[in-house]
């Protein structure tokens, strides 16, 4: 259904670390929502905002890293990036308004006092919350407090919200676009368990919940899709929205995406793939594979092929069908999708990716012309799951230092094959690779005491230095003859 009202969504990461799969999934979800709405004729804007209120941990390097990873994934935005650190005066302005209206009050409690209060509550089995010690101070008590301390926090008066803006009802509700599948179902939270929360720190900077609301108001955000770890924040934010004069019907619509879990259903860790997106790029994953893997998690997309283009995915995207329970993020599944993309792209495009993303140098030009090398890339990428595996396969065709350790042990059968290769290939001056490989191979088969799989495994190690890789016949028909002759010479020198 089309709408005349502009739809505005935002992706708002905190630059306190890199862009991890969970946050990347949120960015992709918002991107697909925007593209889908545009496709059906709606006016939609995607806003990028850096929520850098954590002064100690936020850095410009992390911000740049996040932006680079978003661009690599192919996620474009219409406005931003905006930084909360550039808007401190705006937060102070609206905090002062709420202070004058009585929705905020000054709290002079020290961290030690607050920690003691929390400790007592926890020991007695109660949820920790501020009891409002500074809410009803007299003018004289406030003056006395301000003599002793020059700093204070500003806290939100939850009771005032309940009495004036929530019909004197303790329960606050909202409809979640993802978690509440039925139209009348809602998320709810009793406000008395929240307690009066801080919106401005002693340093004069805003807390996350306050800055987010001010930004969403100023940037006219209509839909907020984010991780389910923010569900508890939503109730605080709704209270701030309403205190700032936003009507109930004008609040953003919220949708909270379920957590990503490791295959064993535990929280994502570095071991299970919870690493920054740019690390996946270094490991040889394609941006399209990462995008699609994260896009398909949760079931918000009709059945499509895992290698379909973004525009087809966006057309099929329906946020209403997104699962409300946790999704499994599986790196092995990502490798499977990545392999399909690598297989799908042609060899010339793969060469460009290897040069751009994997720092493949142009040493290959010393041994091959471009046409022959593209043929090698085509062979190297066949069956590869990552670009690193493609690089590893390409190395089979390049000069390398024969490892002495491979030839330290006495192995008469292996040494016999080396001598046959040397006598029939190197000494005779015959070509070994290319069309001549079949003749050399036939001589080895007829002369060696080894046969079958053991023969060809030994032959592979001698000629390539590795136990695995593309079919040996395919390698030998494409490899530069001078390179293979040099390998045999070095192997011969080592075994005598």
Give me the residue label for tokens 């003749």.
Answer: 439
Q: What SS3 string covers 374-397? A: HHHHHHHHCCCCCHHHHHHHHHHH
Q: Are the C-beta atoms of residues 194 and 129 closer than 8 Å to each other?
A: yes
Cβ-Cβ contacts under 8 Å for 71 (sequence gap 6 or more): none
The tens place of each residue's pLDDT in the chain, 496 residues long, gives 566 789 999 999 999 999 999 999 999 999 999 999 999 999 999 999 999 988 889 999 999 999 999 999 999 999 999 999 999 999 999 999 999 999 999 999 988 989 998 999 898 888 889 988 999 899 899 989 888 887 899 999 999 999 999 999 999 999 999 999 888 899 999 999 999 999 999 999 999 999 999 999 999 999 999 999 999 999 999 999 999 999 999 999 999 999 999 999 999 999 999 999 999 999 999 999 999 999 999 887 877 889 999 999 999 999 998 988 899 999 999 999 999 999 999 999 999 999 999 999 999 999 999 999 999 999 999 999 999 999 999 999 999 766 666 665 657 888 888 998 998 888 887 889 999 999 989 988 998 888 888 888 889 988 988 888 999 999 999 999 999 999 999 888 888 7
C-alpha 345/C-alpha 340 separation (Å) is 9
Q: What is the pTM of this model?
A: 0.92
Cβ-Cβ contacts under 8 Å for 397 (sequence gap 6 or more): 364, 367, 368, 376, 380, 475, 478, 479, 480, 483
């Amino acid at each position: 259904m089309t709408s005349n009202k502009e739809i505005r969504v935002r992706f708002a990461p905190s630059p306190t670390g890199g862009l991890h799969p969970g946050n990347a999934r949120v960015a992709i979800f918002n991107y697909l929502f925007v593209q889908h709405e545009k496709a059906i004729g709606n006016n939609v804007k995607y806003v990028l905002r850096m929520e850098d209120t954590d002064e100690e941990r936020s850095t410009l390097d992390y911000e740049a890293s996040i932006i680079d990873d978003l661009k690599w994934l192919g996620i474009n935005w219409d406005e931003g990036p905006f930084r909360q650190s550039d808007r401190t005066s705006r937060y102070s302005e609206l905090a002062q308004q709420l202070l004058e209206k009585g929705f905020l009050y000054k709290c002079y409690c020290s961290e030690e006092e607050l920690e003691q209060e929390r400790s007592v509550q926890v020991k007695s089995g109660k949820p920790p919350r501020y009891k409002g010690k500074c809410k009803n101070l007299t003018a004289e008590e406030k003056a006395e407090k301000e003599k002793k301390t020059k700093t204070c926090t500003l806290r939100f008066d939850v009771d005032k919200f309940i009495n004036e803006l929530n019909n004197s009802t303790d329960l606050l509700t909202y409809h979640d676009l993802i978690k509440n599948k039925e139209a009348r179902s809602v998320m709810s939270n009793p406000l008395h368990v929240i307690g009066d929360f801080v919106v401005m720190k002693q340093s004069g900077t805003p807390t996350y919940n306050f800055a987010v609301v001010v930004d969403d108001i100023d940037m006219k955000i209509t839909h907020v899709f984010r991780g389910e770890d923010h569900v508890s924040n939503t109730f605080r934010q709704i209270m701030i929205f309403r205190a700032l004069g936003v009507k109930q019907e004008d609040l953003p619509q919220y949708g909270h995406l379920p957590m990503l879990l490791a295959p064993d259903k535990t929280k994502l860790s570095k071991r299970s793939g919870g690493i920054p997106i740019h690390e996946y790029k270094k490991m040889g994953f394609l941006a399209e594979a990462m995008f699609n893997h994260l896009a398909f998690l949760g079931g918000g997309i009709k059945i499509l092929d895992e290698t379909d283009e973004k525009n087809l995915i966006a057309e099929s995207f329906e946020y209403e069908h997104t699962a409300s329970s946790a999704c499994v993020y599986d790196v092995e599944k990502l490798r499977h999708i990545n392999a399909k993309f690598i297989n799908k792209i042609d060899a010339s495009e793969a060469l460009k990716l290897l040069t751009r993303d994997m720092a493949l140098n142009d040493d290959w030009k010393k041994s091959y012309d471009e046409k022959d090398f593209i043929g090698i890339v085509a062979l190297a990428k066949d069956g590869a799951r990552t670009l690193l595996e493609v690089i590893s396969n390409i190395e089979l065709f390049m000069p390398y230092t024969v490892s002495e350790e491979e030839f330290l042990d006495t192995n008469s059968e292996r040494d016999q094959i080396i001598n046959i290769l040397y006598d029939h290939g190197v000494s005779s001056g015959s070509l070994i690779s290319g069309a001549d490989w079949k003749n050399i191979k036939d001589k080895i088969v007829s002369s060696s005491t080894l046969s079958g799989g053991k023969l060809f495994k030994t032959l592979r190690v001698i000629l390539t230095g590795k136990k695995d890789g593309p079919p040996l016949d395919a390698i030998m028909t494409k490899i530069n003859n001078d390179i293979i002759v040099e390998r045999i010479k070095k192997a011969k020198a080592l075994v005598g």
